[in-house]
């Protein structure tokens, strides 16, 4: 008996679903070198252009000189350094919550929060289009797990009627493949009516959304009572790495005691926390970054609509172009790359079957001229593809 891995890989290739890792040979930014070729990239999540910011780099360098390069141990042993603590306090201030807790990755933050809060006899209700880490967390929690229709408070309400034990409602803030916002006011209303807690993973909302970059909760003007569990990641708009959960004193203490992905892993490098403190300062003070980003989003949407592209309902930096067929989406991505433009084709199982797309992401580091180059490339490639013969 053996695992037939070759057959599984061959099947994935045949379905145009095989994934490969592009080799980045330059820092993140609009202009990159990938697999030896200079490209104009529209596919990273560095929304505010901070991943290669000189002040953030210098903060990391100074942090390494002061604190070394390794966390050395888990937070509960001797790995919780002063920079980690200072960053947690700054993130609590950003979110307007009593406390925040650092995690090494967003996946670990979601897994830790859900599995620490619910278990056997409890209920987890999740949006059908939630990120894989949220869905995995719900399944691994041991609680009764159910998914409600995408962004549908009525569907959620019906599932809440059947919930047992402690109930956790879980949603993305900004849906990473569609770019649309969760209807948090309606979801919060339904959850509170049934005594359930609402947990929001705002990985893609922090930075671009809210008057001060505080994300979707700030955008909607909601309170801690509306959203008791707030998760954010630091590898996107913050430009560094890691994640956090923000909430009440009791929530954070409970995660420290019961969240296994927090307890049983080494802390992130302290110098990384130093870098994130600097990027958080830039995120909060340099409002022009969000303003410029919104200008680019408007420019892209207007231009794409004039071309006749099938956009989705998004005013965030995530601007998917719906293609449908996985092979066609892959072909478009390859055509754009040949023109020096890097736009990723997103295919099942990341998105539902029949909804393959080009996922354009815009950042504050892009210029209007670069967005115009992208629009011209999209117009030419879509026109060229439509003139090519279809292959069965």
Which amino acids are annotated catalytic? 176, 204, 236
Q: What is the DSSP annotation of 238-264? A: TSS--EEEEE-HHHHHHHHHH-HHHHT
Nearest of 168, 173, 175, 187 to residue 254 by alpha carbon: 168
Assess contact for 316 and 208: CB atoms under 8 A.
yes
177's CB contacts (< 8 A; 6+ apart) are 129, 318, 320, 346, 350, 351, 357, 359
Residue 106 among known ligand-binding residues: yes
Please tell me whether 355 is known to bind a ligand: no
Rounded to whole angstroms, the Cα distance separating 17 from 358 reads: 14
Binding residue per annotation — 19? Answer: yes
- 99 annotated as a binding-site residue: no
107 is in an annotated binding site: yes
The alpha-carbon radius of gyration of the chain (Å, integer) is 21
Rounded CA separation 163/165 (Å): 7
Q: How far apart are CA 283 and CA 195, in angstroms?
A: 35
Burial class (CB in 10 A: 0-12, 13-18, 19+), 193: exposed
Question: Is residue 150 annotated as involved in ligand binding?
Answer: no
70 is in an annotated binding site: no
Phi, psi at residue 24, to the nearest 5°?
Answer: -80, 125
For residue 5, the tally of other CB atoms under 10 A from its CB is: 8
Question: CA 104: distance to chain centroid?
Answer: 15
Tell me: is residue 233 an annotated ligand-binding position. yes
Q: In what order do the strands lie in the sheet with 37-41?
A: 31-34, 37-41, 341-342
Which residues belong to the annotated binding site?
19, 106-107, 131, 176, 204, 233, 350
Which residues belong to the annotated binding site for pyridoxal 5'-phosphate?
106-107, 176, 204, 233
Which residues belong to the annotated binding site for substrate?
19, 131, 350
């Amino acid at each position: 008996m053996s695992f037939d891995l070759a057959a599984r890989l061959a099947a994935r290739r045949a379905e145009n679903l095989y994934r490969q890792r592009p080799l980045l040979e330059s820092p993140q930014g609009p202009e990159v070198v990938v697999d030896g070729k200079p490209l104009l990239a529209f596919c990273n999540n560095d929304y505010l252009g901070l991943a290669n910011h000189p002040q953030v780099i210098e903060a990391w360098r100074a942090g390494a000189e002061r604190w070394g390069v390794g966390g050395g141990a888990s937070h509960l042993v001797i790995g919780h350094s002063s920079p980690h603590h200072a960053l947690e306090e700054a993130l609590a201030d950003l979110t307007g919550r009593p406390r925040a807790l650092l995690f090494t990755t967003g996946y670990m933050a979601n897994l830790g929060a859900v599995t620490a809060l619910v278990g056997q006899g409890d209920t987890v209700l999740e949006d059908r289009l939630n990120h894989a880490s949220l869905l995995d967390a719900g399944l691994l929690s041991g609680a009764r797990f159910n998914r409600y229709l995408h962004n549908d408070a009525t569907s959620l309400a019906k599932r809440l009627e059947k919930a047992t034990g402690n109930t956790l409602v879980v949603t993305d803030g900004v849906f990473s493949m569609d770019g649309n916002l969760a209807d948090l006011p309606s979801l919060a209303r339904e959850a509170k009516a049934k005594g359930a807690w609402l947990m929001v993973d705002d990985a893609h909302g922090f930075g671009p959304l809210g008057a001060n970059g505080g994300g979707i909760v700030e955008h909607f003007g909601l309170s801690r009572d509306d959203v008791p569990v707030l998760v954010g990641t630091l590898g996107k708009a913050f430009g560094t790495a890691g994640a956090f959960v923000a909430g009440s004193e009791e929530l954070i203490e409970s995660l420290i005691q019961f969240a296994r992905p927090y307890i049983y892993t080494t802390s992130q490098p302290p110098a990384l926390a130093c870098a994130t403190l600097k990027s958080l300062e830039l995120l909060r003070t340099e409002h022009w970054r969000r303003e410029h980003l919104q200008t680019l989003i408007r420019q892209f949407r207007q231009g794409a609509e004039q071309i006749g592209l099938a956009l989705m309902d998004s005013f965030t930096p995530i601007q998917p172009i719906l293609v449908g067929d996985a092979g066609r989406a892959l072909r478009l991505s390859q055509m754009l790359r040949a023109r020096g433009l890097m736009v990723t084709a997103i295919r099942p199982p990341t998105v539902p079957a029949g909804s393959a797309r080009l996922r354009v992401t815009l950042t504050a580091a892009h210029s209007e001229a670069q967005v115009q180059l992208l629009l011209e490339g999209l117009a030419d490639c879509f026109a060229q593809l439509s003139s090519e013969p279809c292959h069965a």
